[in-house]
Amino acid sequence: MDTLSEAGLSRPQLDADARALLFTSARTATSFAATPVTDAELLEIWNLAKWPPTASNTQPLRVLFVRTAEGKDRLIPHLAEGNRPKSLSAPVVAVLALDTAFHEHVPHVFPRNPGLKDVYEADENLRITNGTFSAALQIGYFVLAARAVGLVAGPMTGFDKDGVDAEFFPAGRLKSLALVNLGHPGENAWRDRLPRLSPETTVQWA
């Protein structure tokens, strides 16, 4: 039972080191060391990333971990040329995809309104729009979870989605949205940090 919430008290906060690990000092890696990434580490990423919110708890994101030489041979040709060296050096490339039939699980994951399954079944546009939004949220959670378990991540959208889907998801149910290279940083892994927009540009008050 969450006594802090019940009492209306402040929630615990991450310390400066944890905030740096996840946000302020975290970088997108462009090269990776040969250090292996274990199945346990990959499952740990997912077991963290599954907890944050999605619309009606639908959890539409699916993950394919590409880690074998054969899997890389199938994946790399579908990447933009500039992205291929990064993914070749990464021990693992996660293909993050939308399950277009995520609504099948609604009675289990959202039991307070099992009828939502039928709403989504009848309206494909609503299903794909809402599913894509929630899956995009989950991609962000996935990157933070990778950082939390001590790995670096390199998220990318520069790839032929139709080609990847035909290669790995020929049934048509899963639609790739992003790739994330995973591993430990290699030589010259970081580019110069680019500027971030200020609150004066991005934040309004009402």
At 95 the pLDDT is 98
Q: Kindly report the CA angle at 91 between 49 and 195, in degrees rounded to 5?
A: 65
Q: Give strand pairing partners of 99.
A: 174
φ/ψ (deg, to 5) at 17: -65, -40
List the chain domain ranges: 28-183
Strand 174-183 versus strand 152-156 pairing type: antiparallel
Which CATH number does 28-183 carry?
3.40.109.10
At 10 the pLDDT is 82
Cα torsion 125, 131, 132, 133: sign:
positive
The tens digit of pLDDT for each residue in 74-123 reads 999 999 999 999 999 999 999 999 999 999 999 999 999 999 999 999 99
**d(C-alpha 93, C-alpha 63), whole Å:** 10
**d(C-alpha 47, C-alpha 38), whole Å:** 14
Residue 153 pLDDT grade (very low, low, confident, very high; cuts 50, 70, 90): very high
